[in-house]
Amino acid sequence: MSHLFSPFVVKNLSIKNRIVMAPMCQYSGDGEGFAKDWHLTHYVSRAIGGVGLIILEATAVEARGRISANDLGIWHDAHVDGLSRIVAECKKYGAAVGIQLAHAGRKCGISSEEIVAPSAIAFSNDYQMPEELSVEEIQKIVASFSDAAARALRAGFDIIEVHGAHGYLINEFLSPLSNKRTDAYGGSLENRVRFLKEILESIRRVWLKDRALALRVSAEDYIADGNHPEDLAAMINLLKEYEVDIINVSSGAVVPAKFKTYPGYQIPFSETIRDITGLPTIAGGLVTSSYMAEEIVANNRGDLVYMGRELLRNPYWPLQAAKELRSDINWPVQYERAK
């Protein structure tokens, strides 16, 4: 059996292989945060295709936390039924299922919403100017993450991933490029991580300690005065009392920045964070080859590998990868004649 197709266990969660479907917005909701038939087809097809862990797209903890008007939401109890249907169907085919809890902050693209951020700085000229959050408003958003986690539990998700990457609200607090506050939530590294600490603490009150909790981070801002992998690792080390179990390592997007991308360009960030924190990581970044994915896990550069665009192109990539890596895995009985 290859390393890529070996199981991975964290807390009470057992994942059948190391292949993770990265959260990717589908912009296919109904305008009120509810899942549609598209989402069911999209996610279940990847479960049938053999993905070990499917993480649903950024799902907003409040209406103004959406990236687009057609994003999924989990700010209302009524959202639970549609999400639970997706979870149940994916689990029928052996996939573990997670949800990414998110708030877009200043990158909310809905003109009718009053957008917010740690500081009143627009992402770019193409975005609205956000309102700077008061401490009272910060606490309300912290509570919205806790409420969303309780709904995720009712929906049957195996793992929650807190979205602290890609320039959205939590990332905006973490980065000195977007956080210019002078109170307890800004300035020092310890202060900039305070908002995330409070979110994790609130989630852990409802998301039981035997359940896995992941955090997605942008490990590199690609600007000299921004965050770098060592900064994120130091922040993560301040969060360990809240039992973050896995770090999903991405990069960029807190400010407009130019940088080169290539297959595996983010893997060194995963290595750095894994080495400094001692926590398992989900690594990725334009990974398309089964042999590259195998190398990442075999050489302890990441414990799991996330796939994004490649799984959009080929929902059955894991079945193909198993053949290439000479790993004998179970296929859906309906497809066995093609094995």
Domains in the chain (CATH in brackets) are 8-338 (3.20.20.70)
Cα 326–chain centre separation: 30
Beta bridge mates, 161: 100, 214
Distance between CA atoms of residues 257 and 236, nearest Å: 24
Q: Averaged in consecutive runs of 10 residues, what is the pLDDT profile of the chain (339 residues)?
A: 96 97 97 98 98 98 98 98 98 98 98 96 96 98 98 98 98 98 98 98 95 98 98 97 96 97 98 98 98 98 98 98 97 94
Prediction pTM value: 0.97
Q: What per-residue confidence (pLDDT) applies to 314? A: 98
Distance between CA atoms of residues 175 and 65, nearest Å: 18
Query: Which phi and psi angles does 247 have, rounded to 5°?
Result: -110, 120
Q: What per-residue confidence (pLDDT) applies to 297? A: 98
Q: What per-residue confidence (pLDDT) applies to 176? A: 98
Q: What per-residue confidence (pLDDT) applies to 104? A: 98
Distance between CA atoms of residues 21 and 185, nearest Å: 33
240 Cβ neighbours under 8 A, 6+ residues apart = 277
16 Cβ neighbours under 8 A, 6+ residues apart = 7, 52, 94, 95, 96
339 Cβ neighbours under 8 A, 6+ residues apart = 319, 331
Q: How far is CA 72 from each of CA 35, 160, 168, 181, rounded to the nearest angstrom?
A: 6, 15, 15, 30
Query: Which phi and psi angles does 77 have, rounded to 5°?
Result: -60, -30
Distance between CA atoms of residues 312 and 150, nearest Å: 30
